[in-house]
Every structure is written in C-alpha cells, then in structure tokens.
Chain A
Amino acid sequence: MSAAAPALAVRGLGKRFGGIQALEGVDLEVLSGEVHALVGENGAGKSTLINLLAGTLQPDAGQILVGGRPVRFRHARDAAAAGVAAVYQELSVIDSLSVAENLLPNRQPVNRWHFIRGTELRRQAEQILASFGVGLSPDTLVGQLALAERQVVEILKCLAAQPKVLLLDEPTSSLTQREKEALFGLIRHLRALGKGVVYISHHLPEVLALADRMTVLRDGRRVTTCARAEVTEAALARLMVGRELHSVFGKRGGAERGGRPRLQAAGLTRPGAFGPVSLEVWPGEIVGLAGLVGAGRTALGRALFGAEPALEGEIRLDGVSVNPRTPREAIELGIAYVTEDRKGQGLFLDQSIAHNLAAPGLGRFCGRWGFVRDGQMEQHARACRERSRIVAPDVHQTIGRLSGGNQQKVLLAAWIGLGPRLLIADEPTRGVDIGARSEIYGQLRGLAKEGAAVLLISSDLPEILGLADRVLVMRAGRLVARLTGAEATEQRIIAAALGAESPPATATNDTPDTE
C-alpha cells in the first residue's frame, strides 16, 4: 500500500435527518489499490455514508478529501468530476440499447454533424471491455444479458469516466454464486489497476473473501477499522451487532399456544421463488421470518395474502382450508399484509391521512346504498391517529408530507384497523427512526396480545430477536431453521441465513443457489 495520500478520506462526517443522527463523527480512509469493505446492520448508516460520498446527500459536519484535497459535493456531478463513482443496487443500464451504447452514454464519438460514429463507438467500447478483461460483445443488447453481466456493464459504465474511487452498494444481492465470482474477478482487477474500491455488503463471507480492510459501522458511528488478517467472521458479526436489544421492544407477551394454529401452511411452493415451505403461527404469537434479501420471504408473504399466483400446497386458517387468489379475498378472510414498499405499493401519497387509513376495507364506512360516510371515516382516522400516535395536526393532511416514520405508522394502522386474524408485516420499520420504531413494535405487540397472529418479515436482526416469540430462517426459498425464542441468537440466525453451518435436517440437498 502506498504512502501517498489516500484516494479517499473522510474525517468526522456527520448527517442528521430530522430527529435522528444517521451518521456521527465517522472517519474512513480508502487507499489506492485497496478494496475497503463497509459493513454494518441495516440502519447502521452505510447507505447514508455512500450517499454523502457520492454527492447525493450533503454532510452536516466533517470533511471529505479526495487524493488529499478537501472537496465539497453539492451534487452527484461534483463527485463524478472529482473522480468518485457510485454503483447502486438498482441498475441504470438501458435494456434496449447495446453494450457499447450503454458504456458511453453522453460520450459517444460523433462526427462533424453530430451523428454517432458507429465503428468508433464500437472500437472504444471494445477497448474498455478488453482493458478490464471482460468478454462481452459490444453489440449485444443489454436486455439479453444475465443480471450479473448487466451489473458488470453498469460498473464499466462508471469506470469509463476514469474514477479514482468506486463505491459499490450491495452489488451481489441478486447474483448467483458463479456470477459473484465473475464480479469479484472484476473487482480484483480494479484493485490491481490501483483504484480505491469501497464495497458495501452484509454478506460477511463475501466481505472476508474480497476486502483488504473493513470498517464496521453501528448506529451511525464507526466501531473499528481492521485488516482482513485481524478478524474472523464471528468477530465481525459481534462487532456489527453488539448492543443491548430488549430496550425498545417492550415486554414479550409470553404467548401461550392453545387450540389450533391460526395459520398453518403445508408444502407451499411457488416455483422460482420459494418452497416447499411449511409453517404455523398461533394466535397471540409473533413469528419472525429472517433471512437475506432475496431469500423468498416477501414472495412467501405475498403468496399467503393472495398477491402472488401459482401456488402449490395448502393454507389453513383456524383449521379451515382457504385459498386466497387475490388480496381482496385474503382481506375477506381476515388476512392483512403490510408491504415492504411503503411508497410504491403501500400508500396513496397524494391523498389524505384519513383516506389512506380507510383504503383497505372502504366498505366499513358505507351505508346501505354504498355511499361513504365521511364523518365516520374522519372519526376512524382520529381514533387511529390517537392510538398509533401519528404526529399530524390534521387527518386531512396529504400523507406524502409526513415523515417516513409517521407514514409507516399510518400504513400499519390502516391494516390493524381492519382487526385482522393474521397480520403479515414485511419490513415494518424499514427507514424508520428509533422513536417511531418502538411505537410500531408496541402496535404489533398489542395486536398479538389481542389474539391475532403476526408474521414478521424482517432483515433487522435485533428487531426479530427483540420482538419474535419464535424465529424462522429462510434461505434460497426454503425454511432452513426454526428457532424458539430461547434458541435464537444473532449468530445462529446469520449462520442459517448464509448457509455457513451444515444445513439442518429440514432442508434437502438440491438447494438452488439463486432465486
């Protein structure tokens, strides 16, 4: 490693969002020719840090230095100009264009009349592909490539601008093992070329296989920076987690299993997504469903709610065999599903809090001829606001203006307001600050105490451990571990989710390595 100024350095970086300190006093040094991993749980501040480095957010405190020179990024363009490029989870390649056209957007070689010079474009693209040892044809349409190859194109697109530092945010979350290896090859090649690479991931085995050094973030602060040789996977996991869990989660209800299970699923399968999966949830119980992003948890939740078709297996609700084919049918059966995608699939952002709260089950507020009673709807909204402590002066306020935490409280309150028998909550605290979190936990606990069954899908391990009476772990579409509250620990869940341990007896051997 060189003795010269680091390719990228960060001193005392801080960022606040409203009431919460997302990042505080973070130091980081990325050397040229180094792969520097950034690890931490969800909500530890990794994404905030990346956004600050990429110029899409501006820090409240601290300094960013590129090649030893202090810089201020007002805009993503500034970061790009300074030689910092970011590759996010969502790809921005255009499927209908060729690899060459994707590699050189806005930099296509043109002739005097500003027509694109096709052969020159092709030649330049070939040059880029060859220089990084990538064996793709520049003429292939990106839409015909595999996901990993598209990811490679995305990375090369950023590299075409000759950055000094490359930020990679969870680049492997949707790749198969073989595809990952190809990507790692490219990353190692970049390291050899002297680029600084910041690699964000919570897949610890990957991090350990790839990174030279790693910085651990927890609760917005840097815990430590260490070299690859200094740590083991277990030590890293401990550094990531290491906190008291039971404070924000309230008292466990001490669920007693009586009678028959509320939800009983047997051999549930959706080819390509999950299965066969069998599980039970008793009334009054919160069951945590843990696993990595892409393990099939959301697909399973949606299938139970009738939001995904093509289902094999059987669902029993209080012992009665049911088959919800649409959300409408599921709602009538007393199943509620709180989506993980609050803005995209959960809320009606341009509409009022009251209308959002009434959205599932509008019929509750209707008279005999189907006319909506606005007064009743408003009353319901006020009651929900009271009960769920939604911070808003007026229930007619547009919901898009509320904070993320309050929006989430509205979404949850809308579904709890239906009085469901079974609530499936998919990442109910994603992007939500600590205060709202504990209130959401209180809501879920309260619902369980009233006798509903709750299936909690979450990638937030402390949340699962603090809230769930039992924990199920999914990997690659299968349930690979069933843990009682006493058995469940972070290490066990992570091990099961990653498949680090020998698989338990429930999993058969032909586990596919991708969804």
Chain B
Amino acid sequence: MNPPPASLLRQLSRLSELRILLLVAGFWLGLWLYDPAFLAPATINTVLLYLFGYAIMACGMTVLLVSGGFDLSVGSVSALAAMVAGVLMRDPALHVAWPLALAVGLGVGAAIGTANGLFIARLGINPFITTLGTMLLARGLTYIVSGGVGRSGFAPGFCWLGQGRVLAVHWPGWLGGGQWTGVQMPIVVSLLLVVVADVLLRKHRFFRQNYYLGGNEQAAWLSGIAVNRLKVFNYALSGTLAALAGLLFCARLDAAIPTAGEGDELKVITAVIVGGASLSGGKGTVLGAFLGCLLLATIRPAISFLNIGDHWEKALVGFILLTAVLLDRVGKRR
C-alpha cells in the first residue's frame, strides 16, 4: 500500500522555513534589482562576517526555543568566556598556552549553561529569571576578572581562529588567471555548525525529543523522555556555543572586551523567532534561525546601501519581527 508521491509543491508547502525563505529571497531580490552589486561576493562575505557569532548562538537558542525554554545569558557568557581566556593568555603571572585558554573559555560557557539548566530543570525556576540572573552575573564577572579593561596581543595561533582564511584558490594564467582569497575561519565554523545542528535537530533522536518537550512537557515525560536531562543538556549546549562565539569574536579582533556581546541575547532570540520558532515551544529549525540571522544581518548593509540612515535599523528589525509573527498567525488561522 504505497502512498502516491507527494507533489513538489505540496512538499514545499510543508517546509516550515518557506516563510522565512521567501522573506529573505524577496528582500535580496529587491536589493539586487536596485543594484546588482549588492550580491557581490564581497558584500556577502561582509554580511557573513558580521553574523557568524549570532549564527553560532542561534544554533543553541533554536534548540532551547523548540524545547520551550530560552537563554538570556548568551551575550554575557560570550564576553566572560573570551575575557577568561584573554586574562589567562595575557596575565604575566599566568601566560597560559592558547589551546588551554580556549578550552577553559569553552568550559566556562558549559558550566554556566549547566547551572542554568540545573536551576530550571531541577528546581523548576523560570528560565527568564534564571538566565536573567546568570546574564547579570556573567557580565559582572567579566568586569571583575578583567578589572574593567580589555586584553589583546594574543598568540598568532589563537588569532588565526578568527582571522585565518581557508579554501583560498589560485587559478593559473591559462584559465584567465586570478585568485579567490578564501573564507575567514569564523564563517567556516559557523556555517559548519549550522549545517550540523540543523541535521541533528531535524533527524537525530536525541535532539528531536525537544519538539515533544516543547509541545507538551507532561506528555513528553509520560512518553518516556528524560525531560530534566534534556533540559540541562540544552542549556549547557547554549552556554558552550555562546562561549565559542565569544572566543571566535575575540580572536577575530585580537581583543577581549568587557562590553562584548551586550544585547546579543535579544538579537539572537529575535532572529530565531523570525526564523519560525515560537516562545511557546514545539517548533522551529536551525536553518530557519540561520535565515533569520541572515535577514537581520542584511538590514544594516541594506540601509547604508540605500542611504536611508542608520537610525532606521532598530525600527526595521522590530517591523520584521512583528511581520514574521503576524504571517505565522495568519497562516495558522487558515
């Protein structure tokens, strides 16, 4: 009893990212029609370089939103992780080797994430309050650890993580001659993470449990899902990815800054929701979230491109967020 193959249109309409895909495509198409130069590789590279941190944090945030939680501490955790690594590497008394400092930085993120998860899962404290607390705590620790001043002058190996290029290609004269300067490491890392996270959340049993958890926690528990364990893992993942984003950002600038990542948590949550997730849980994909990041990251270059004036950026982001949610609601009514 084989079902008839679903038509392509039907499969496409089932694709939950359709809405955001159309939004991004429409936006870019409009800009491209205005001036084809907008889609030049250099512009795209700039956009990707701007959004890599958001894309990395969005991977963890999507998993959290799907499971019905969220994390306000990502911005602060990214700063704290970078600052801890920066102090370890640059403090004259310590001078820790950069791979170890990197690992400690990631560990700081994982630890704060795990703490978030334990508070929320074991003690039943609201995610908003818990992560608001750790957000302030991590930001405060960043200042305490650093004494309020930044660190820089890191080892070349560390900086390569943020500045190095891979996939550079030179082609010989008989092919026209020329070169492709390659892609910066953070872009490679972030795109790789997005692909891996998307596939895992879509296809892997462990991650897919989040859709059940976010859809109905009681029913998920009765279905045999280890709800608490899953929650703790999710927050730990979010913390670790936030730390990674902060460390890469720090490596790219060769600077750990106490104020780094301020306000990133809201930008990331906005992008993930624009990408189709919901604060009430149960839906969303990493691909959608990435497209959401892409859309929001394109606003700034688009504004300067169109000479609208920088003051419009925030208003436009808000407008897009509300439009996306509105479209979702209208789609549900039908």
CB distance from B285 to the nearest CB of A (A): 14
Q: In the complex, are the beta carbons of B205 and A328 less than 8 A apart?
A: no
Q: In the complex, are the beta carbons of B203 and A372 less than 8 A apart?
A: yes
A344 at the interface (CB under 8 A from B): yes
CA distance A341 to B223 in the complex (A): 14
- Residue from the list A326, A347, A362 in contact with B219, Cβ < 8 A: A347
In the bound complex, residues from chain A placing their C-beta under 8 Å from that of B329 are none
Interface residues of B in 213-231 (CB under 8 A from A): 215-216, 218-226
Interface residues of B in 188-209 (CB under 8 A from A): 203-206, 208-209
B282 at the interface (CB under 8 A from A): yes
Q: Say whether, besides A331-B224, A360-B223, A362-B209, A348 and B215 are in contact (CB < 8 Å).
A: yes
In the bound complex, residues from chain A placing their C-beta under 8 Å from that of B212 are 348, 351, 355, 359, 362
Q: In the complex, are the beta carbons of B208 and A372 less than 8 A apart?
A: yes
Q: Interface 1/0s, chain B 165-208, versus A by CB < 8 A?
A: 00000000000000000000000000000000000000111101
CB distance from A298 to the nearest CB of B (A): 12
B211 at the interface (CB under 8 A from A): yes
A396 at the interface (CB under 8 A from B): yes
Chain B contact residues (Cβ within 8 angstroms of A): what range? 20 to 34
Report the nearest B residue to A396, measured CB to CB. B14
Interface residues of B in 1-15 (CB under 8 A from A): 1, 3, 14
In the bound complex, residues from chain A placing their C-beta under 8 Å from that of B1 are 382, 386
B283 at the interface (CB under 8 A from A): yes
Q: Say whether, besides A359-B212, A362-B209, A363-B205, A350 and B222 are in contact (CB < 8 Å).
A: no
A346 at the interface (CB under 8 A from B): yes
- Residue from the list A349, A360, A371 in contact with B204, Cβ < 8 A: A371
A307 at the interface (CB under 8 A from B): yes
In the bound complex, residues from chain B placing their C-beta under 8 Å from that of A341 are 218
CA distance A327 to B224 in the complex (A): 5
- Residue from the list B203, B205, B215 in contact with A350, Cβ < 8 A: B215
CA distance A346 to B221 in the complex (A): 10
Q: Say whether, besides A347-B219, A348-B212, A362 and B205 are in contact (CB < 8 Å).
A: yes
Q: In the complex, are the beta carbons of A327 and B222 less than 8 A apart?
A: yes
Q: In the complex, are the beta carbons of B208 and A327 less than 8 A apart?
A: no
CA distance A344 to B3 in the complex (A): 32
Q: Say whether, besides A328-B224, A328-B226, A382 and B3 are in contact (CB < 8 Å).
A: yes
CA distance A29 to B79 in the complex (A): 72
Q: In the complex, are the beta carbons of A349 and B218 less than 8 A apart?
A: no
Give the dominant DSSP class at B's interface: helix
A366 at the interface (CB under 8 A from B): yes
CA distance A361 to B212 in the complex (A): 12
Q: In the complex, are the beta carbons of A370 and B206 less than 8 A apart?
A: yes
- Residue from the list B218, B219, B282 in contact with A359, Cβ < 8 A: B219
In the bound complex, residues from chain A placing their C-beta under 8 Å from that of B3 are 382
Interface residues of B in 279-305 (CB under 8 A from A): 282-283
Report the nearest B residue to A378, measured CB to CB. B3
Q: In the complex, are the beta carbons of A345 and B216 less than 8 A apart?
A: yes
Q: Interface 1/0s, chain B 45-60, versus A by CB < 8 A?
A: 0000000000000000
A429 at the interface (CB under 8 A from B): no
In the bound complex, residues from chain B placing their C-beta under 8 Å from that of A396 are 14
CA distance A339 to B219 in the complex (A): 9
In the bound complex, residues from chain A placing their C-beta under 8 Å from that of B221 are 307, 326-327
Q: In the complex, are the beta carbons of A372 and B224 less than 8 A apart?
A: no
Report the nearest B residue to A341, measured CB to CB. B218
Report the nearest A residue to B208, measured CB to CB. A372
CA distance A372 to B204 in the complex (A): 6
Q: In the complex, are the beta carbons of B204 and A346 less than 8 A apart?
A: no
CA distance A330 to B224 in the complex (A): 8
Report the nearest B residue to A395, measured CB to CB. B3
Report the nearest B residue to A414, measured CB to CB. B223
- Residue from the list B205, B219, B223, B282 in contact with A372, Cβ < 8 A: B205
In the bound complex, residues from chain A placing their C-beta under 8 Å from that of B215 are 348-351
Q: Say whether, besides A347-B216, A348-B216, A351-B215, A337 and B282 are in contact (CB < 8 Å).
A: no
CA distance A349 to B282 in the complex (A): 10
Interface residues of A in 315-329 (CB under 8 A from B): 326-328
Q: In the complex, are the beta carbons of A327 and B223 less than 8 A apart?
A: yes
Report the nearest A residue to B222, measured CB to CB. A327
CB distance from A408 to the nearest CB of B (A): 14
Q: In the complex, are the beta carbons of B222 and A339 less than 8 A apart?
A: yes
- Residue from the list A326, A327, A345, A371 in contact with B205, Cβ < 8 A: A371
Interface residues of A in 338-382 (CB under 8 A from B): 339, 341, 344-351, 355, 359-363, 366, 369-372, 374, 382
Q: In the complex, are the beta carbons of A344 and B218 less than 8 A apart?
A: yes
Q: In the complex, are the beta carbons of B206 and A345 less than 8 A apart?
A: no
Q: In the complex, are the beta carbons of B205 and A360 less than 8 A apart?
A: no
Q: Say whether, besides A327-B222, A328-B226, A348 and B282 are in contact (CB < 8 Å).
A: yes
CB distance from A407 to the nearest CB of B (A): 12
In the bound complex, residues from chain B placing their C-beta under 8 Å from that of A360 are 222-224
Q: Interface 1/0s, chain B 132-152, versus A by CB < 8 A?
A: 000000000000000000000
CA distance A396 to B221 in the complex (A): 23
Report the nearest B residue to A415, measured CB to CB. B223
Q: In the complex, are the beta carbons of B205 and A346 less than 8 A apart?
A: no
Q: In the complex, are the beta carbons of B205 and A307 less than 8 A apart?
A: no
CB distance from A335 to the nearest CB of B (A): 10
- Residue from the list A332, A337, A351, A372 in contact with B222, Cβ < 8 A: A337
CA distance A341 to B224 in the complex (A): 17
Q: In the complex, are the beta carbons of B224 and A350 less than 8 A apart?
A: no
CA distance A327 to B221 in the complex (A): 7
Q: In the complex, are the beta carbons of B218 and A351 less than 8 A apart?
A: no
CB distance from B154 to the nearest CB of A (A): 37
Report the nearest B residue to A332, measured CB to CB. B224
Which residue of B3, B211, B222, B283 has the most chain A CB atoms within 10 A of its CB atom? Answer: B222
- Residue from the list B14, B222, B225 in contact with A346, Cβ < 8 A: B222
CA distance A360 to B3 in the complex (A): 25
In the bound complex, residues from chain A placing their C-beta under 8 Å from that of B223 are 327, 331, 359-361
Q: Say whether, besides A328-B224, A371-B203, A345 and B283 are in contact (CB < 8 Å).
A: no
Q: Say whether, besides A371-B204, A382-B3, A349 and B216 are in contact (CB < 8 Å).
A: yes
17 contacts between A and B (CB under 8 A): A307-B221, A307-B222, A328-B225, A331-B224, A339-B219, A344-B216, A344-B218, A348-B219, A349-B216, A351-B211, A355-B211, A359-B223, A360-B222, A360-B223, A362-B205, A372-B208, A386-B1
Given known contacts A345-B219, A349-B216, A369-B204, what 8 new A-B pairs fall within 8 Å (CB)?
A326-B224, A328-B224, A328-B226, A332-B224, A348-B211, A348-B282, A360-B223, A361-B223
Q: Which residues of A contact B (CB under 8 A)?
A: 305, 307, 326-328, 330-332, 337, 339, 341, 344-351, 355, 359-363, 366, 369-372, 374, 382, 386, 396
Shortest beta-carbon contacts, A-B, top 7 = A348-B215, A328-B224, A345-B218, A331-B224, A360-B223, A359-B223, A370-B205
